Amino acid sequence: MTVKATTAARWIDDHRRALIATADDIWGYAELALHEEKSAARLAEALRAEGFRVETGAGGMPTAFVAEWGSGPPVIGFLGEYDALAGVSQKVSPVREPIVEGGAGHGCGHNLLGVGALAAAVALARELAARKLPGTVRYYGCPAEENLSGKAFMARDGVFDDCDACLTWHPGALNRVSSNSSLANNAANITFRGHSAHAAGDPFNGRSALDAVQLMNMGVEFLREHMPPKARVHYVITNGGNQPNVVPAIARVWYLVRAPERDQVDELYQRVLDCAEGAAKMTGTTYEVELLKAIWNVLNNRTLEDVLDEALRRVGPPAFTAADLEFARRISESFRPDQKASYLSRQELSPEDLKTLRGQVLNDTIIARPTTLKDPSGSTDVGDVSWCAPTAQFGVACQAVATPGHSWQYAAQAGMGIGHAGLLTAAKVLAEAGFELMTNPEALGKAKAEFQELTGGRQYRSAMPPGQKPAFHQFADE
C-alpha cells in the first residue's frame, strides 16, 4: 500500500535532519513537568516559522500552547508532549552512564513524541495547501504529562472542545494501535505537622510527623487487600525530617491513586485520606492535603483507531540501521534474563506476531491490534482529551523489545537512531491519518457519532475542583 498524503510524507523526509536535531535538543534539555521553558519555546518557534498562529499560556501554564494553521472545518488536532522524568539522566550509551547523576532524562521519549506530532501538523498543512483544501490543523503543546497532567488543565479550560478529532502517538517497543484505556488517577501531597524534640533526651515531648507518614503508609498497605482488583496506589516520602536525633516536626508523602474508572478513584482516594486522618490521630499530629491533579481514564474511539491502523499499514514500520540493531542488542544485555518473555506474555498477540517478536530485538513489523480492549496498566492525561473530543493514539517502536518504561535504557534510545527512526514513522502515520479525516467526512462523522454514543452526550466535567491550579512548585527545586 502507498500513502495518500504524498506531499506530507515528502515534507517529513526532506526535513528529517531538522526534525531530528529538534528532538535531540529537547532530549538534552530534559526539563521536568511545568518547567519545560526551552522545550516549549523551541517547538512554538518552529511552528511559527512554518506559518502557524501560536497562543501560549493554555490552561494557565506558561509552557502550554496552541498552534493553528488554516481555517474552517474540519479541525484536526495533534497532541505533543515534551516533559522529562526525574532520575533517569543517561548518555547515548548501552550501559548505565548518567549525564548528571540523579538528573532528569527522557525516559518516556517525550522529546520524540512532541516533535513527531509537530512534524505531522506541519506536513498535513503542506498537504492541504498543495491541494487547496479547507480545514484547520492544530498542534497542542501539552506540558507535564508525567505526574502533573497538563492536558487536564487545558481540557478544563475548553481548548479541545471545538476539535473534531485529536490524534497522538507514543514511543514504545511495538508498532501497534493502542486499543486500550488507561487508569484514572488522583495525585496529592499529604503533609503532617507535629512537634520537634530531642530524640534521645526528651522524645516524650515530641510528636513525630514521620511516624504519622509511616503509619499512613502502613494503613494503605493493609487497604490493598480491599481495593478494586486493577487499582494501583504508589507513594514516595518527599520529606522525612532532617536528622535522626531530632523528632521530625514536618514530614510529607506524595501519593498517586489509580483505578480503571473515575468513580473508583474518588472512593479509593477518600479511603487513602482516611488512613491519613487515622495516622494523625494516633500520633497527635495534624495533616494537610494538597491535591495536585485528578484525571480521567481514556475513552477509546474504535473508529479513529481503525483510521490510525490503516495509516500505519500504508506507511509501514520504521527503517532501522545495522547500528540501531547493534545498539538494541547491547542494551538488551542489561535486561533481566526473563524480561522479554515476561513482556511478551503481557501483550495480546497473535501466534504469528508472538513468534516474530521472539526473534526480534527491534520490532520492524506491524503488530495486529488486540481483539479485545486490554486491561489498563498506566495513566495518561490523554484521558481528559478523549472525553472532550474523539481521540485515538498508537505506538511506534523507538526502543528494543521489552525495554522498561521510565528507565535509563529508554532515555538512551530516545536520543539516538532507534528513536529517530520511530519519530519519522510516527509523523508520517499521524499526517496520513489526519489527511484521511480531513478528506473523508464519512469516517470523521462515524468517529464523532461513536464519541456521542460513548459519552451519552454528556459534557466533559473536570475531576478537579474549581480553582485548582497547576502545581508549579512540585519540581521547582529539581
Q: What pLDDT, on the 0 to 100 scale, is given for residue 370?
A: 85
Could you tell me which residues come within 8 angstroms of residue 411 by beta carbon, excluding any fewer than 6 positions away? 85, 88, 89, 90, 105, 106, 107
d(CA 31, CA 37): 8
pLDDT tens column, 293-322: 999 999 999 999 999 999 999 999 999 999
23 and 165 inside one domain: yes
Reported in sequence order, the residue ranges of 59-143 that DSSP labels E, i.e. its strands, are: 65-71, 75-81, 135-142
Greatest CA span in the chain, whole angstroms? 82
Q: Are 75 and 138 in contact (CB under 8 A)?
A: yes
pLDDT tens column, 197-245: 999 999 999 999 999 999 999 999 999 999 999 999 999 999 999 999 9
Query: 291-305, 314-328, 364-378, 436-450: which has the minimum mean pLDDT?
Result: 364-378
288 and 328 inside one domain: no
| Residue 342 predicted with pLDDT over 60 | yes
Cell numbers representing residue 144 in the block: 507535564
Domain count, the chain: 2
Which CATH number goes with the domain that contains 429?
3.40.630.10
Grid cell 467526512 — which residue? 441
176: domain range? 6-182+297-455
d(CA 326, CA 312): 25
Q: What pLDDT, on the 0 to 100 scale, is given for residue 430?
A: 98
Q: Look at residues 296, 321, 345 and tell me which one is the last residue of a structural domain.
A: 296
Strand partners, 250: 193
Residue 461 falls inside a structural domain:
no
95 and 208 inside one domain: no
Helices (H) and strands (E) in the chain, counts: 15, 11
Q: What pLDDT, on the 0 to 100 scale, is given for residue 476?
A: 79
290 and 214 inside one domain: yes
Mean pLDDT of 361-372: 92
312 and 290 inside one domain: no
Q: Look at residues 267, 296, 325 and tell me which one is the last residue of a structural domain.
A: 296
Element (H, E) at 339: helix 339-345
Q: What pLDDT, on the 0 to 100 scale, is given for residue 477?
A: 65
User: Cα torsion for 279, 282, 287, 290, to the nearest 10°?
Assistant: 10
Residue 462 falls inside a structural domain:
no
d(CA 196, CA 199): 8
Q: Are 399 and 106 in contact (CB under 8 A)?
A: no
pLDDT tens column, 161-203: 999 999 999 999 999 998 889 999 999 999 999 999 999 999 9
Q: What sign has the CA pseudo-torsion 208, 293, 303, 430? A: negative
Q: What pLDDT, on the 0 to 100 scale, is given for residue 478?
A: 55
Residue 111 falls inside a structural domain:
yes
Reported in sequence order, the residue ranges of 152-226 that DSSP labels E, i.e. its strands, are: 165-172, 176-177, 184-193
Q: Are 67 and 121 in contact (CB under 8 A)?
A: yes
Q: What pLDDT, on the 0 to 100 scale, is given for residue 53?
A: 98
Q: Tell me the one-letter amino acid at 214.
A: Q
Query: Using 50, 70 and 90 to split pLDDT, how confident is the model at 361?
Result: very high
Residue 310 falls inside a structural domain:
yes
Residue 478 falls inside a structural domain:
no
Q: Are 142 and 58 in contact (CB under 8 A)?
A: no
User: For the stretch 152-161, what's the b/e string if a residue is b when 16 or more beta carbons lie within 10 angstroms of its beta carbon?
Assistant: bbbbbeebbe
194 and 123 inside one domain: no
Q: What pLDDT, on the 0 to 100 scale, is given for residue 38?
A: 98
Query: Using 50, 70 and 90 to split pLDDT, how confident is the model at 1?
Result: low
Residue 258 falls inside a structural domain:
yes
Residue 353 falls inside a structural domain:
yes
Element (H, E) at 290: strand 286-295
Mean pLDDT of 271-296: 98
pLDDT tens column, 33-92: 999 999 999 999 999 999 999 999 999 999 999 999 999 999 999 999 999 999 999 999
Residues of the chain by 3-state class (helix, strand, coil), percent to 5: 45, 20, 40
Element (H, E) at 306: helix 302-315
307 and 401 inside one domain: yes
142 and 207 inside one domain: no
Which CATH number goes with the domain that contains 194?
3.30.70.360
d(CA 119, CA 131): 18
Q: Look at residues 266, 296, 326 and tell me which one is the last residue of a structural domain.
A: 296
Query: Using 50, 70 and 90 to split pLDDT, how confident is the model at 326?
Result: very high
355 and 271 inside one domain: no
| Residue 324 predicted with pLDDT over 60 | yes
Q: What pLDDT, on the 0 to 100 scale, is given for residue 372?
A: 76
Average pLDDT, the chain: 96
Query: Using 50, 70 and 90 to split pLDDT, how confident is the model at 458?
Result: confident
Pairing between β-strand 391-397 and β-strand 232-239 as defined by DSSP bridges: unpaired
- Residue 316's φ and ψ, nearest 5 degrees, are 95, 170
Of 19, 35, 45, nearest to 83 by C-alpha is 35
- pTM of the complete model: 0.96
269 and 325 inside one domain: no
Q: What sign has the CA pseudo-torsion 213, 218, 222, 224? A: positive
- Residue 342's φ and ψ, nearest 5 degrees, are -65, -45
Could you tell me which residues come within 8 angstroms of residue 261 by beta carbon, excluding any fewer than 6 positions away? 184, 297
153 and 206 inside one domain: no
| Integer-rounded Cα radius of gyration of the chain | 23
DSSP assignment, residue 81?
Answer: E
Residue 136 falls inside a structural domain:
yes
Query: Using 50, 70 and 90 to split pLDDT, how confident is the model at 282?
Result: very high
Could you tell me which residues come within 8 angstroms of residue 27 by beta carbon, excluding any fewer than 6 positions away? 106, 111, 414, 415
Query: Going edge to edge, which strands form the sheet with 391-397?
Result: 53-56, 65-71, 135-142, 75-81, 165-172, 391-397, 176-177
111 and 239 inside one domain: no
